[in-house]
Every structure is written in structure tokens, then in C-alpha cells.
Amino acid sequence: MEPDKISALNEQFSIPGIAEIVRGNGDLPKIHIATKSAIAEIYIYGAQVTSWISARVGEVLFLSEKSYWEAGRAIRGGIPVCFPWFRAKTDNPHAPSHGFVRIKEWQVESIARASDDSVCVSLSTESNETTRRWWPYDFRLEYRISVGTSLRLELRMENLGQSALLFEEALHTYFKVMNVKEAKVRGLDGVAYLDNRESNLEKKQLGELTISKQTDNAYTHATGAVEIKDPLLRRNIRTDKQGSSSTIVWNPWQDGASSMPDMDNEEWRSMLCVEGGNILSSAVTLAPLQNHTMTITISAEEIS
């Protein structure tokens, strides 16, 4: 983005001393937010949160040191927005993985400060000739990101067309952990899941989830809160959600990371994706001119 465009965005949206648009990695513009409770960075490209530093526990999100920072490539880490499909597109293997909005420039709609000292960033994107090449529907996405003592993410999808459509969505959150082998995921006990490492074989979670191998689990009918307990960083990270029936847990492990050029071979040790979404059998059917909202709230606290 040209310097004059960044200046124009700042003139319209910046909050002096609180929020400004700056040049980020790869010269991609990002919104930098700093309040008493948290510091955050949001790239306009992909509407992607790449950092949320809580005053309570420090950096909560993982970001790969080898991530690409260029148009047409996804940012590896933070919170990518997956839409309108998850994983590969079933009828077109050449389509972008996890959909096209995470490799699309979004529009800044507003940046506002709330009475509780949080800052809310509103971004949007909608269908155009490029998106219709991959997905022949008219839509509008609005994404509200509230940065404060918690990180609240609200993704609103509106069907602008004249026919019903089906879509998948996920906020593909990469959490930072000290050692993924020591982390524990709580809140999924008794929930059925599809194991993508075994051709979506259905299994059932028993007790806490620990990560001891490459993991790609899609928990179905999972609407409750999920926690990551990290004893080495001495913190709990909690994800509450509304409008979401899927929880996905993913770690590539050493064998998967070695095949990913935008992730260092050892970075899998310090990340764990636990994300809310609506995928596979929980994909959303939306009638013409109707809308659907998914809300994810992330909070973190110290543990003794």
C-alpha cells in the first residue's frame, strides 16, 4: 500500500496514542493498537490479527518467523479468517486452501474506543469478480475485533444473493504455548470428533486432550468453552463462543512442519491451534438476504 494511502487511512481512522495504521512486514499495512490492558496488531490484508499481548500474561498468539508477507499468500499464525470453505475445496484442488478471504485486502470501516478502554476495529469484504471465480455467490462479511482485557471476534456473514448458499467458516487461532507436549486442552470430554489424519474417522474424546503426535481433529456439536492449560507459561487460555458448532484442534508435529516452507522445523513445539468454526456437517445454510454471526471471545489468566 502506498504511503499516501496509509496516511489517508490514519487521517480517517486513527486514535492518537491508541490506534494507528502503520507499515508492517512486507510493506503490508497493519493496525497497531495500544491500551492499558493490551497491545494488538491487525493486518488489513486478510483482516488477520497477528498479535494480542495481554497485560496479564503477555503474548497469547503464535506467529511463524518464516511466514510469507506478500499478496496471494496466507500469513502463517495469528488468527486467519477461513471462509467460505475449510481445508481444501472439495470440488477444486486448485482453489486457495481455507478459502480466499485470508488472502484478500479488506476495507477498514471504523476504529473506535469504548468506555471500558477497549478498541473496536471493524473491517469488511464482499464478493467481486475474483471471488466469483472460486465461489459463485454474492455475500458480505463484516468483522468486528475488540481489543481489551479479552479479545472478542465477531464475524457476520450476509447472503446478498437470490438463492440459498452453504458455507464453512473458522477463526483459525494459533495459540502460543511453551511446549505443546505439556499443554492440555479442556472442555471437549465426551465430544465426538472426526480425525483428519485418519480420513475423518469418527472418534470420541475421553478426558483432557494432550498432543503427542500430528493432530487435526474436528469436534462436532462442540458449542461450549474450551481451555488450554499451559503449565510452563503458567496460564490458562479460554475460548468462549456463540454461533459456532465446531471446534478444531490442530498441530502439524515435526512430520507436518517439515513440509511447510513458511514454518520452521521446530516451531510446531510452541503453537497449538484451537479454533471455533462451522465446518463439515456443521456448515451453515443461509437463505437469501439472511445473515449469520459467529462470536469468539478469547481470555487469558495466570495460574499458580
CA quadruple 82, 87, 89, 93: dihedral sign: positive
Q: Where are the domains of the chain?
A: 3-302
Place of cell 500500500: 1
Q: Encode the chain (304 residues) as per-residue pLDDT tens digits.
A: 677 899 999 999 999 999 999 999 999 999 999 999 999 999 999 999 999 999 999 999 999 999 999 999 999 999 999 999 999 999 999 999 999 999 999 999 999 999 899 999 999 999 999 999 999 999 999 999 999 999 999 999 999 999 999 999 999 999 999 999 999 999 999 999 999 999 999 999 999 999 999 999 999 999 999 999 999 999 999 999 999 999 999 999 999 999 999 999 999 999 999 999 999 999 999 999 999 999 999 999 999 8
* pLDDT given for residue 133 in this prediction: 96
Q: Is the pTM of this model over 0.95?
A: yes
Please report the pLDDT score of residue 1 as a whole number: 64
pLDDT computed for residue 3 by the predictor: 72
Residue 223, number of CB atoms within 10 A of its CB: 15
Cβ atoms within 10 A of the Cβ of 159, count? Answer: 22
- Determine the pLDDT at residue 132: 97
DSSP 96: P
DSSP assignments along 197-217, one per residue: GGTTEEEE--SSEE--S-EEE
Write the CA distances from 182 to 129, 208, 222, 274, 278, integer angstroms. 46, 12, 23, 15, 28
At 270 the three-state DSSP class reads helix
Give the integer Cα–Cα distance in Å for 42 and 96: 21
Q: What is the pLDDT of residue 4?
A: 87
pLDDT of residue 304: 81
CATH topology of domain 3-302: Beta-galactosidase; Chain A, domain 5 (2.70.98)
